[in-house]
Amino acid sequence: MGINFEISDLIPAPPKVVFNAWLSSDEHSKMTGGQAKVSATNGETFEAWDGYIQGKNLELDSPSRILQNWRTSEFEDSDQDSLLEILLEAEGKGTRITIRHSNLPEHGMQYHQGWFDSYFDPMKEYFEEK
């Protein structure tokens, strides 16, 4: 069945700004610190964190939801892609970002902390400086 989890955090920017940054190669790279080649088009593939993460956009509902197939270079060839759902909801002057990550392989719980270390924390710093 795979490993599933849900996490969230508050990002100091409006949902539309976070949504657009997630799907912009330049902004995604700046807000995470890892090189990204992403797209704001349904069906397009993407890479993030210098090619460590790869996937495909499945559904893009601006500015509130991104659904992607997602895998890292640590997945075995036989592992199915995981499913990543990113929900963005206005909260105060910022955005409540919720990550629902499902169908992860056995080592998948490592990504739970990885979202905080590699995305939420650098995103908060990036948007606070803007």
Distance between CA atoms of 24 and 22, rounded to whole angstroms?
6
CATH match of 3-129 with 3.40.1160.10: no
Residue 105, Cβ density class (10 Å: 0-12 exposed, 13-18 middle, ≥19 buried): middle
The tens-digit pLDDT sequence of the chain (130 residues) is 689 999 999 999 999 999 999 999 999 999 999 999 999 999 999 999 999 999 999 999 999 999 999 999 999 999 999 999 999 999 999 999 999 999 999 999 999 999 999 999 999 999 998 7
Answer for the pair 46, 69: CB distance below 8 angstroms, yes or no.
no
Distance between CA atoms of 45 and 57, rounded to whole angstroms?
6
Residue with tokens 């895998």: 71
Q: Are strands 94-104 and 45-48 parallel, antiparallel or unpaired?
A: unpaired
